[in-house]
Structure 1
Amino acid sequence: MATIKDIAKKAGVSISTVSHVLNKTRFVSESLSNKVKKIAIELNYSPSAIARSLKKNETKTIGVIFDRNTNPYFAELLSAVDKRAYENGYSIIISNFESEHKRFEFNLNTLMQKKVDGLLLFGSEINSYPLSCLEQYSKTPMVFMDIDISVKNHLVDQILSNSVYGAYKATDYLIACGHKQIGCISGNMSSKVNRDRFKGYQKALEKAGLMVNKNYIFEGNFDCRSGQDCFEKYMRLPRNKRPTALFIFNDLMAMGFMNKAYSNGFTIPDDISIIGYDNIEYSEFLNPALTTIHQPKYELGIQSVDLLMQRIKDPKLETQVFQLKPDLIKRNSVSLLDQKGR
């Protein structure tokens, strides 16, 4: 691979002159500049990203740490992150930690060793982790998604998904459709997102004068199989004591529940109404199409990169917090009951 030393030798100029031409750091006559550029092309010269990063103290890379790479929600989100990063001249390095604290710390340290210019962190599980692993990187620009923590001596921007509001809206819709026996399938309650969605579910029931029935609460793990497992738990309830509707905390668990329900002869929404959360791309292609809460994933991805670009350019900016607003997407998985809940 050709170096600037090879270009300088062939052009009969100094290495510093070649450097100034290629990096546009000092005036060089047009004729000499054209000569150097022509030779660089002839020699197939490509600047070393490592050398450039050492010189400019930037790598033009963004580290992205998120929870699970099997969830379509993150795939859609990362697509927007990658697009926006590219538009700003950056590439991304992706790492997931599967809700494992040690793996999160390992991935964080690995990305920092690669000298990324900034970090995007997605995953409310991080709220429960010790902050010491983040505090040691206080000079690295960061944007948090659903991570409601403060890092000592660090200005961190935040984007919050407003899960309480989204869950309230989902449960309130079920109530408006005449349902009174409303259950839920949550994820692990150690996660802030799950606790917030449960708060929204509880808030809507209480406002309608309905009790939270602990027998109607099932815990999954944000994947299809745990949705299937929760159907088995649902079936253990006496037929006349089952909820008529379920608010399921993400679309993947809703898909798993629906799949198992169909294989057991259930019809949705006639036998049970279902509302999901996230509005992943697959949700509208289910049969019936899944009523769900839309999270603005594309907007989130764009906003997170834009915030990080601002923080990279001006590390002393005042911290910013953005609240997203989930929307209800009405499809065909919720039935309309009469006022007696039948």
Structure 2
Amino acid sequence: MHKISIKDVAKKANVSITAVSQILNNKGDRFSAETIKKVLQARDELGYVPNSAARNLKVRHSRLIGIIVPSFRMPFFADIIQSMQDNAPEDVNLVFIGSTADNLQSSIYSLVERGVQALIFGRPIPNRDVVNAFLKKRHIPYLVLDQNADINAQDMVQTNEFTGGSLAASHLLSLGHRDIALILPNDLTDNMRQRRAGFLDTLSAANVTPISVISAALSKHGGLAVVHQLIQSQATAAFILNDEMAIGVLRGLTWQNVKVPEDISIVGYDDTDYAEFVVPSLTTIAQPVAEIGQSALNMILQRLAHPNLPYQTAFFDVKLVIRESTAQLSTDQ
């Protein structure tokens, strides 16, 4: 099947290729309204779609940035992606890839083959020395989010995860809870270890030890799967290190006729977009996701413009968002 080209549009409109190019790129001020109308009508009738890849080759200072995240299904990373898209300059093209630990290196190679000039990692990096050497040899700078706190990257965006865990513990303690469970992912990233540390340190300062520590898959189904363990622990409250898991726990508790927050209080983490819409709405620790995405993109563009900049870091605070899933401990419990 013949692919419609700019030549076809020019022929149908009976104008030059240059005229079509300028009009379709919003540079056709010198042409009459009638000529512009003919070109646009020809484009629409033929179904012509500009070749963005070819056009980008002609853009003198176009920059291609690759962003690797663990999953597009997780709202936290979806919000970061949206933030980057909203804040990307016109001459910057973003390529997003969802990658597991097993295929991370092949994802990196694929992006490098496509010509990316810099990378942003929104997921943990295994084989860090190998990845660092590969990118350094090819002069490709990269930035990491705080899932990689101990990697030797030039630039990093972090949030105050320790304080986030501490806020969760302080909130539950202030409501009178002492029999508190901790639910965490099977594989902890660096930032989640900080959440856990802040939570445990604050409990310890109040002479409280978690009544149960439960591991699960980092997903809604993972949270759902450990509800029986949570109920058996007889905890009156639980801190869950991720909203995805917390949503699964809320659903499982409902199926078991356990009332939240009357029977048990639940605190999540991330304040993803649906946390305020579930029933009951979820008390959680909010991260400034839009600012994180914008900052990461700005920093990597700064690195591209000025390769010899000193180490760049951005550090964001978190806050407790109190909703319906937590309440004062009942005297009957």
Q: TM-score normalized by structure 2?
A: 0.81
For 1:341 and 1:316, locate their aligned partners in 2 and report how far apart those are by CA, in whole Å.
63
* Alpha-carbon separation, structure 2, partners of 1:262 and 1:193: 30
Corresponding position of 2:117: 117
Q: CA RMSD in A?
A: 3.1
- Code of the aligned partner of 1:118: A
Counterpart residue number, 1:63: 66
Cross-structure match for 1:148: 149
d(CA) in 1 for partners of 2:268 and 2:220?
A: 12
Is the 1:178–1:341 contact (alpha carbons within 8 Å) kept by the matching residues of 2?
A: no
The alpha carbon displacement at 1:210 in A equals 1.2
Question: Which runs of 5 or more structure 2 residues have no equivalent in the other structure?
Answer: 23-29
Percent of aligned pairs sharing the same letter: 24
Post-superposition Cα deviations, 1:115-137, rounded to whole Å, max 9, x if no partner, equal 112211112x32x4332123221
- What's the offset of the Cα at 1:290? 0.7
- Given residue 268 of structure 2, which amino acid in structure 1 is its aligned partner? G
Do the aligned partners of 2:68 and 2:99 also contact (CA within 8 Å) in 1? yes
- Classify the secondary structure of the residue corresponding to 2:280: coil
Match of 2:183 in 1: 185
Q: TM-score, normalised by structure 1?
A: 0.79
Matched-pair contact (CA < 8 Å) for 2:156–2:313: yes
Aligned partners of 1:334 and 1:2: how far apart in 2? 61
Give the corresponding residue for 1:234. Answer: 230
Whether contact under 8 Å (1:188, 1:194) holds in the other structure is no
Q: Aligned partner of 1:168: which letter?
A: S
After TM superposition, the structure 1 = structure 2 runs for residues 25-104 of structure 1, keeping only pairs within 5 Å, are: 49-50=53-54, 53=57, 56=60, 59-85=62-88, 87-98=89-100, 100=101, 102-104=102-104
SS in 2 for 1:283: coil
Q: 1:74 to 1:341 in 2, by over 3 A?
A: farther
Equivalent AA in structure 2 for residue 220 of structure 1: A
Q: Distance in 2 between matches of 1:309 and 1:122?
A: 16
Aligned partners of 1:249 and 1:276 also within 8 Å: yes
Contact 2:181 2:238 in 1 (8 A): yes
User: Is 246-255 or 131-140 further displaced after alignment?
Assistant: 131-140
- Structure 2 Cα separation of the partners of residues 184 and 296 of structure 1: 24
Q: Secondary structure of 2:275's partner?
A: helix
**Which structure 1 segments of 5+ residues have no match?**
12-17, 23-33
Q: For residues 161-180 of structure 1, what are the alpha-carbon distances to aligned partners after superposition, in whole Å with 9 as ceiling and x for unaligned?
A: 22111111111111111111
Residue identity in the other structure for 1:70: R
SS at match of 2:208: coil
Name the amino acid aligned to 1:144. Answer: V
Match of 1:302 among 279, 294, 297: 294
What is the alpha-carbon distance in structure 1 between the residues aligned to residue 256 and residue 52 of structure 2?
A: 60
SS at match of 1:289: coil
- Equivalent position of 2:26 in the other structure: none
CA distance in 1, matches of 2:51, 2:262: 64
Question: Hey, what's the Cα distance between the residues in 2 that align with 1:274 and 1:302?
Answer: 30
Matching residue of 1:203: 201
CA distance in structure 2 between the partners assigned to 1:219 and 1:256 by the alignment: 13
In structure 2, the CA distance between the partners of 1:313 and 1:287, relative to structure 1 (3 Å rule), is: same
Once the two structures are TM-superposed, the CA of residue 317 in structure 1 deviates from its matched residue by 0.7
Matched position secondary structure for 1:276 = strand
Contact 2:67 2:96 in 1 (8 A): yes
CA offset at residue 265 of structure 1? 0.8
**Structure 1 residue 50 displacement after superposition:** 4.8
Asked whether the equivalents of residues 165 and 200 of structure 1 are also in contact (C-alpha less than 8 Å), the reply is yes
Kindly state the Cα deviation for residue 341 of structure 1 after the two structures are TM-superposed.
9.2
Residue equivalent to 1:257: 249
- Number of the residue aligned with 1:282: 274
Match of 1:30 in 2: none
Farther off after superposition, 306-315 or 142-151:
142-151
Equivalent residues of 2:282, 2:324 under 8 A apart: yes
Alignment of 1:169-184 (within 5 A): 169-184=167-182
Between 216-225 and 271-280, the greater mean CA deviation after superposition: 216-225
Query: Is it true that 1:324 corresponds to 2:326 in the alignment?
Result: no
Secondary structure at the aligned position of 1:61 is classed as strand
Alpha-carbon shift at residue 303 of structure 1 (Å): 0.7
- Give the CA deviation at 1:191: 2.0
2-side partners of 1:310 and 1:218: how far apart? 42
Flag the 1:281–1:305 CA change in 2: closer, same or farther, 3 A: same
- SS of the residue corresponding to residue 282 of structure 1 reads coil
Distance 1:90 1:157 in 2: 19
